[in-house]
């Protein structure tokens, strides 16, 4: 039975986020959309120099420092996204990034877990980790300065998005942020950020010969994809305060295709904000500290303790050391044709993947046992 204090906590939870505007379609007029498209077309053709004063240079330096300090590992990035969202709930993408980044952390620690490590040699585990870590770090490096610049724009009550150039952010995002600052159209901003980050990833990671040869075409990656380990899902409680979480999400297929990844991102956005799961998923995020162990959401099956009878799923800090990254300037946006229709939403019907994930887990556990028997 739910106690009185739990009922009060539930009431406060809904009251706290009652003013969040969750609208499935843009409320901006066709005229204003056409003006945005016009500005995007112009942006793809421009190469504007950046001129700054001392105050702006100080702000740029501060944002770069804050981004670097938080771009240390999956834990720091994931927490940074959530903290930003709680202070800026009109930026839906920040919560989406937090939840997707949680999944990235779980994938990283899977490589050292009881269910994956038996199938991979040490160098394969390391290669896959560095791929996942690089992707996680790249997106944060590109996106987080944008978030901080928006927050500063709100504080100063004036748009500062000309400064995006100082952070090597794609020309695509400047008209988007200016549009958002004027209209607060969360869905256009979210779809734009999904489009930007996946194209940025494509340009700076996925297109490299090393990624294609050693990751996307490798047996270890194909094993992960076929066994359902590229599922992205959001834990939530169907009934508040029950200990076992259900999972709402989608399976990623054709991970190497940028259009497929954008479609998945939009699908996850629909699941998070427009399937009546928002409060439950946000409740999970706020109540459960991200450790990158799958025990974060299923402690009845997973444990961070290797001697426990449950499936061993380590925390990120016990599985991997921090990695230093070098970032380069490389804009992907050259034509409006690349983003035509970017604002279109994706609507889904069935989102519960709890049974599918359990089935994939049973397959893996069975395979591990079979492998152990063969080795005897």
| Residue range 149-196, pLDDT digits in tens | 999 999 999 999 999 999 999 999 999 999 999 999 999 999 999 999
Cβ-proximal residues to 326 (8 Å cutoff; 6+ apart), any chain = none
The mean pLDDT of 317-328, rounded to a whole number, is 96
Measured distance CA(252)–CA(231) in Å, rounded: 6
pTM: predicted TM-score of the whole model, two decimal places: 0.90
**What is the β-pairing status of strands 246-251 and 231-236?**
antiparallel
φ, ψ for residue 251, nearest 5 deg: -95, 130
pLDDT single digits (tens) 44-58: 998 888 999 999 999
| DSSP of 50-107 | ----HHHHHHHHHHHHHHHHH-SSHHHHHHHHHHHHHH-TT-HHHHHHHHHHHHHHHH
pLDDT single digits (tens) 197-255: 999 999 999 887 666 666 766 656 665 555 555 689 999 998 766 667 999 999 877 77
Taking Cα atoms as reference points, which of 8, 47, 333 lies closest to residue 172?
333
Task: Look at residue 31 in the predicted model and tell me its pLDDT.
Answer: 76
pLDDT single digits (tens) 64-104: 999 999 999 999 999 999 999 999 999 999 999 999 999 99
């Amino acid at each position: 039975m739910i106690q009185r204090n739990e009922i009060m906590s539930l009431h406060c939870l809904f009251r706290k986020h009652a003013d969040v505007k969750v609208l499935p379609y843009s409320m901006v007029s066709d005229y204003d959309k056409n003006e945005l498209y016009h500005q995007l077309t112009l942006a793809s053709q421009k190469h504007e120099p950046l001129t700054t004063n001392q105050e702006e240079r100080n702000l740029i330096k501060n944002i770069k420092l804050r981004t670097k300090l938080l771009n240390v590992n999956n834990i720091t990035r994931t927490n940074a996204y959530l903290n930003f969202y709680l202070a800026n709930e009109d930026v839906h993408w920040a919560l989406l990034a937090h939840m997707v980044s949680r999944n990235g952390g779980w994938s990283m620690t899977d490589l050292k877990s009881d269910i994956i490590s038996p199938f991979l040699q040490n160098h394969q585990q390391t290669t896959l980790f560095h791929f996942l870590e690089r992707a996680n770090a790249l997106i944060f490096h590109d996106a987080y300065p944008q978030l901080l610049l928006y927050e500063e724009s709100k504080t100063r009550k004036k748009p500062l998005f000309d400064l995006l150039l100082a952070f090597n952010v794609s020309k695509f995002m400047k008209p988007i942020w200016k549009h958002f600052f004027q209209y607060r159209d969360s869905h256009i901003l979210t779809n734009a950020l999904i489009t930007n980050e996946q194209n940025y990833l494509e340009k700076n990671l996925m297109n490299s010969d090393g990624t294609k040869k050693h990751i996307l075409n490798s047996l270890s990656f194909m094993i992960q994809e076929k066994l359902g380990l590229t599922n992205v899902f959001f834990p939530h409680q169907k009934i508040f305060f029950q200990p076992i979480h259900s999972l709402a999400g989608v399976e990623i297929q054709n991970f190497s295709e940028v259009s497929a990844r954008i479609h998945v991102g939009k699908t996850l956005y629909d699941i998070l904000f427009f399937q009546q799961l928002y409060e439950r998923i946000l409740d999970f995020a706020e109540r459960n500290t991200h450790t990158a162990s799958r025990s974060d959401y299923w402690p009845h099956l997973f444990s961070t303790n290797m001697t426990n009878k449950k499936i061993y799923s380590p925390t990120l800090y016990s599985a991997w050391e921090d990695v230093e990254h070098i970032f380069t300037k490389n804009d992907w946006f050259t034509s409006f044709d690349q983003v035509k229709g970017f604002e279109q939403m994706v609507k889904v019907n069935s989102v519960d993947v709890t049974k599918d994930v359990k089935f994939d887990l049973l397959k893996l556990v069975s395979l591990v046992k079979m492998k152990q028997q063969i080795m005897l």
